[in-house]
Structure 1
Amino acid sequence: MAASFEILKQQNAADWQAYIEHRFVRDLATGTLPEAAFQHYLKQDYLFLIQFARAWGLAVYKSRDLSEIRQGLESLKAIVDVELGLHIGYCAQWGISEADLAQLAESKATLAYTRYVLDVGMSGDLLDLHVALAPCIIGYGEIASWIRQQPFTLRQGNPYADWIDMYAGDEYQALVSSELDWLNARLAGLDAGRMQRLSVVLRDATRLEADFWQMGLDLS
């Protein structure tokens, strides 16, 4: 069987499931997540997006051909020119102003995951960086799809329906598919040693993303 992202996930199945089905995610699905927890998550996610933009800037630097440079640049521009503005607008709907966002300090969970991604990208190559980002890019798409499939999901009157719909929507799911195609094309043919090193990256990144959910519950 050719190496693929699915194999990396299978090697870290317990950690991936703990992330995808975290209590924060389940409470989003049932609409029972305390508003304060979601607001805290939204604030830190704003800071996360800023570091995410830096990671795509690093991806441009780590690129070895024009197509990879363009991919990294398009992702960087999407965050800076579109996603941050949308996030600021969404935060405003939850009573969080842009001035509030500008005064935020990064939580320990935000620092841990974002700096881990940047460190992996600096010390490794472009593939290492993409695998470190996979729990966010691919994971959010899986989480939203998983939520929609659960019988306990509140489908009417869920205060978090917009968040779920955004990541379950066609536009984001197309981004997930594109990222999977990119990863699988580069993972195919890798030897066992390289796959094992990437498996460790995915394991650590997935655990740190799960900590990001836990942060919302702990409010710290």
Structure 2
Amino acid sequence: MSFSETLKEKAGKIWEECYKHPFLQELGMGTLEKEKFKFYLIQDYQYLMEYAKVFAAGMVKCNEEKYMAKFAEIQHNILCEEMNIHRKYMEDFGITEEEAANAGQSLFNKAYTSNMLSTAYTGTIAEIIAVVFPCAWSYHDFAKRLKQEYGNLPKNDFYNKWIDTYASDEFGESFSWFCDYLDVLCENKKQKELKKIEEIFRTSMEFEFLFWDMSYKMKMSY
């Protein structure tokens, strides 16, 4: 098992707690209250704006043209493709982009994105990949599993587009290079450095759980 693969294994408990969270399970069954999804949409809109900045920092710190292009490509996909899904859902709810932009981040959201940006500004490229990896990897894994578990839902179900997007091979391929690049970057790192990367990965996974929980309870703060 490669180093990058062990990250998921070591964060296995919180990973599974995320998947079992009522927000995701009810989304998969199509029973999630739309007001909860609306709350999630607005907060995720705010999140993605900050998330995109982390990839910009990765591109700035990277000196290899191949990976500079990959960081730039993901940033473009976030702002021009993933955000389009949010905009479509927001239209369904009658939410304008201005309303979403001015809604403000919840405490949980702000803590998560602040941690990512701090890592992006002060950390290594390996640490930047570790801090963003849980979001993309878990979304792809959870969406595929929801599709397998609840695939008998009507095709016009409100949440099918969300599940289909994140379960798609295209989405999985968009970040698959994280694994190989992180393994290369960590090949000669000392155990202390590897431990730090593991902690960064796990912390982001814990924030993922808090994000789902925040959305389900529609909480802006404690």
- For the criterion TM > 0.5, the same-fold answer is yes
Deviation of 1:198 after TM superposition, in Å, equals 1.0
Q: Unpaired segments of 5 or more residues in structure 2?
A: none
Change (3 A) 1:160 1:135: same
CA distance in 1, matches of 2:133, 2:91: 28
Aligned residues: percent identity?
26
1:1-220 map, 5 Å: 3-150=2-149, 152=150, 155-156=153-154, 158-220=157-219
Contact 2:108–2:210 (CA under 8 A) maintained in structure 1: yes
SS class of match (1:122) = helix
Q: Unpaired segments of 5 or more residues in structure 1?
A: none
The amino acid that maps onto 2:164 is D
The amino acid that maps onto 1:105 is G
Contact 2:30–2:153 (CA under 8 A) maintained in structure 1: no
The amino acid that maps onto 1:95 is G
CA distance in 1, matches of 2:181, 2:9: 18
Contact 1:109–1:215 (CA under 8 A) maintained in structure 2: yes
> CA offsets, 1:132-163, max 9 Å, x none?
1011111110111111222x565225321111
> CA offsets, 1:180-206, max 9 Å, x none?
333334344544322211111111110
- TM-score when scaled to structure 1? 0.90
- TM-score when scaled to structure 2? 0.89
Moved over 4 A (4+): none
Contact 1:24–1:214 (CA under 8 A) maintained in structure 2: yes
Give the aligned CA root-mean-square deviation in angstroms: 1.9
CA distance in 2, matches of 1:111, 1:154: 36
